Amino acid sequence: MERLKGKKALITGAAQGLGACFARMFADEGAKVAVTDINAEGAEATAASINEKHPGTAISFAHDVRNKLQWKHALAGAVDTFGGLNILVNNAGVATKGSIETENLESYQKVQDVDTASVFVGTQLSLPYLKKGMPSSIVNIASVASFLANRDSLSYNVAKAGLVMMSKSIALHCTKYKLDIRCNSICPSFTRTPILEAALAWAGEGGDWEQKMIKASPMGRLAEPEDIGYAAIYLASDESRFVTGTEITVDGGMTAR
C-alpha cells in the first residue's frame, strides 16, 4: 500500500525482534530504513535481507544507544544516504530481573540508560533533522510494564513508565513551537521476540511459564511482532497527523481488566 512512501526512518535495536520486524514492514510500505543495533552483524543482516527484496532501501550502523557519538554517526549517515529523516523509532531496550531487595544499582542504571536515557539523547540529536523533514514522527516502544507493575521487574517498570511520560513531554514541546513532529509510544504485552525468551529463562519454567503468559491475555495468545508493527506503521505514517502525546496499547486486552 506504500503507506510510508517517501519516508526515511531510523530504527534502533533492529538486529532482531521487534526492531527487525519494523524495518522490514516499513520497507514494504515504501520507506527507506536505517537499521541500527549494538549487534552490528545482526543489523547488517537485517538490512541485507531488506535490500534483497527492496534494493537500495536499507543501510545499517553499529550503534550502542548509550553512546552519544554513535548516535551522531548513525543519524548523519542516514541523512547523508537518504537525504533526510522523517521517522525515529526508539526501539532498543533491555530488561533485568530484580526486586527492590535483589536488584543492584549497576543493572538498574543500565536499564535506565538503554531504555530511557538513550531516547532522550537520540531524540534531542534527531530533532534538527526531523524539523527539516516535517511532517515527522517519533515512535517510542514502551510496554504494558509502563502500567502493570511486577515485583521482579523494578528497573524495567521504572524505565518504561518514564518512557511513556517522556513521549508526552516531547509531544507537548513540539506542539508549543508549532512543529509538525508527533511523538507517541506503543505499549506491547508479551510478544514472541528474543526478550520474551530471556523472560522465560528467568522463570526457569520453559513452556509452563509461556502458558501462564498466554493465560494472562484475554485474547488467549501471545502477540506476534507484526501485531506491534502495524501500530508502528500507523504512528509513523501521515495517517496519524493529529495523534500525538498518547500511547497505543497493543496487549490483547490485558490492561482492560
Residue 108 among the catalytic residues? no
Over its C-alpha atoms, the chain yields an Rg (Å, rounded) of 17
Distances (CA, A) of 232 to 90, 113, 136, 146, 225: 11, 23, 13, 18, 11
Q: How far is CA 142 from CA 110, 167, 224, in A?
A: 16, 10, 16
> Cis link prior to 194 (omega < 30° from 0)?
no
Helix (H) or strand (E) holding 35: strand 32-37
Buried b vs exposed e over 229-244: b needs ≥16 C-beta within 10 Å? bebbbbbbbeebeeeb
Give the CA count within 13 Å in the CB-facing half-sphere of 130: 23
* CA dist., res. 115 & res. 155, Å (int): 10
Which one from 108, 156, 177, 234 is the annotated catalytic residue? Answer: 156
Question: How far is C-alpha 74 from the geometric centre of its chain's CA atoms?
Answer: 16
- The set of catalytic residues is 156
